[in-house]
Structure 1
C-alpha cells in the first residue's frame, strides 16, 4: 500500500511538527492519514518502525535536495554553494535532518533506528553524489568541504548565509594560497 504508507508518513511528520514524538499517538496518525490503526501497524509494525521510516524518509529527502542542487545548470562552485545552502535550509527547517547531519538526537525526536545514516555516512553520500555529478577536476572533496562548512552554520547558528556568501567562502577555502610551497 504505497499510498497508505506515504499518507501515514505525512501524517506522522505533521504530528511531529506539532508536538514531541513521545506525545504522538498512533491512533491520531492513522486517523489523520485516513486509514485504520491496523493498517498503520501492518505497514510499520509499531511506533518505533514508523519513527524509523520517518527518519529514513527525511534522509532521502535531504539527499534528493542535494541531487537537485548538483544537477543545476551552473558552474561547479555555484552548484557546491547550492548544496551548502540547501544543507543549512533543510537542517534549520527540519529537526530530523538537523539530527541526521549532526548526530544530536533529543528525546522529542523518534529514534534513528538501524537504517538511518550516521552523520559521516551522510557527508560521504553527498561527496559520492558530487563525484558522480561533477567532473574530476571539480572535486568531490570540495563538495564535502561545502557540506562541512554548511554544518558549521547548523551547529553554531548565526545569520543564515545565502548562496553568494557560501560561494565566496568556498572559493576562499579552495583557492591555493600564495605561500603554498614557499619556505
Structure 2
C-alpha cells in the first residue's frame, strides 16, 4: 500500500501544480495514480486527509533537506549557511513549504489542516502539522544538536542556539524578500556572530 500512497500523493501534487486545490477532484487523482477511488478513500479518508498527507509530506521533505545540509561537508558556519540556503530554495520551489514556513496560505492551496483529522480505520492518526514557529524551533534545535560537540558548556549552547535561530529567521526573511548582492551567505556573514560557532 505504500506504493499506492506515494503514487496518490504524487498525483495530488501534480494536480495542485495545475489548478487550485478546490478544483482538484478525487476521481482524477485516483485515475492519475492508477488506483481506484475507493483505494484513495481507504488510504486518506477523504480530500481533507489527502490534503493533510500532502502538507505533511512537504514538511517532512523540507526537514529532510535541513538534515542533509547539517550533515554536509564544511565547517559549522558553512553547514548552517547551507540550511539557510536550502530553506530559501525549498520555499521558492514548493508553495506548500512556503506556506508552512510563513503561515501564508492562499486559496490555491489546501487549507491548513486544523485539529485532528478523521482517520481511516486501518491507519494511525498523524501528529499535528508544525506551525511556522514550530518549524523555526525544530530547525534551530536540530542545528544546535548537529553543531555542538560533546561537553559543550551550557553558556556556549545558549549562544549557539541564538545564532542558529538568527540564521533560520534570516533565511525566512529571504523567502519573502530575496537578498541582494552577496546572497544569503553574505547576509548571514554580516548579521550573525561567527564567534558563537
Contact 1:123 1:144 in 2 (8 A): yes
Distance in 2, matches of 1:44 and 1:176, equals: 46
How far is the alpha carbon of 1:166 from its aligned partner?
A: 2.4
Gapped regions of structure 2 (runs ≥ 5): 116-127
Contact 2:63 2:139 in 1 (8 A): yes
Deviations 1:35-78 (A, max 9, x none): 10000000001001100110011000000000000000211111
> What's the secondary structure of 2:14's corresponding residue?
helix
Distance in 1, matches of 2:97 and 2:166, equals: 18
> What's the secondary structure of 1:117's corresponding residue?
coil
Partner of 1:91: 91
Contact 1:77 1:171 in 2 (8 A): no
How far is the alpha carbon of 1:121 from its aligned partner?
A: 0.2
Aligned ranges 1:64-143 → 2 under 5 Å = 64-113=64-113, 114=115, 115-135=128-148, 136=152, 137=156, 139-143=160-164
Moved more, 107-116 or 37-46: 107-116
Contact 1:77 1:167 in 2 (8 A): no
Distance in 1, matches of 2:99 and 2:21, equals: 14
Question: Could you state the TM-score of these two structures normalised by the residue count of structure 2?
Answer: 0.82
Contact 1:91 1:154 in 2 (8 A): yes
Question: Could you state the TM-score of these two structures normalised by the residue count of structure 1?
Answer: 0.88
Distance in 2, matches of 1:79 and 1:167, equals: 11
Q: What is the root-mean-square deviation of aligned Cα atoms in Å?
A: 1.9
4+ residue runs of structure 1 moved beyond 3 angstroms?
none
- Number of matched residues? 174
